Amino acid sequence: MRIDRVKLIAEMARRDMRVQELADKATVSRATVTALRGGKSCNENSIRRVANALDIPVESLLEGVGGEKIS
């Protein structure tokens, strides 16, 4: 599963949050956050953790118009 890297980077910038800070808050590795910022695919659980850490819905990070729904 992929997220929109621009949306992630923009949200991190709005919150003035660095990669390591987000990784710590989301309890994922720094490499995972770096991969997401680079447009790499990641597992659903990690994406949920990152969205929760940013206090935003997962859908707001997904690629494309409408994106995939995560139940």
Question: What is the C-alpha to C-alpha distance for residues 12 and 22, in angstroms, rounded to an integer?
Answer: 8
Question: What is the C-alpha to C-alpha distance for residues 71 and 69, in angstroms, rounded to an integer?
Answer: 6
Q: Would 9 be classed as within a structural domain? A: yes
Task: Quote the domain boundaries for residue 26.
Answer: 5-61
Q: Are 15 and 58 in contact (CB under 8 A)?
A: no
Total tally of structural domains belonging to the chain: 1
Q: Would 69 be classed as within a structural domain? A: no
Most confident of 14-18, 59-63, 66-70: 14-18
Q: Would 51 be classed as within a structural domain? A: yes
What is the pLDDT at residue 62?
87
Its pTM stands at 0.84
CATH number (domain holding residue 41): 1.10.260.40
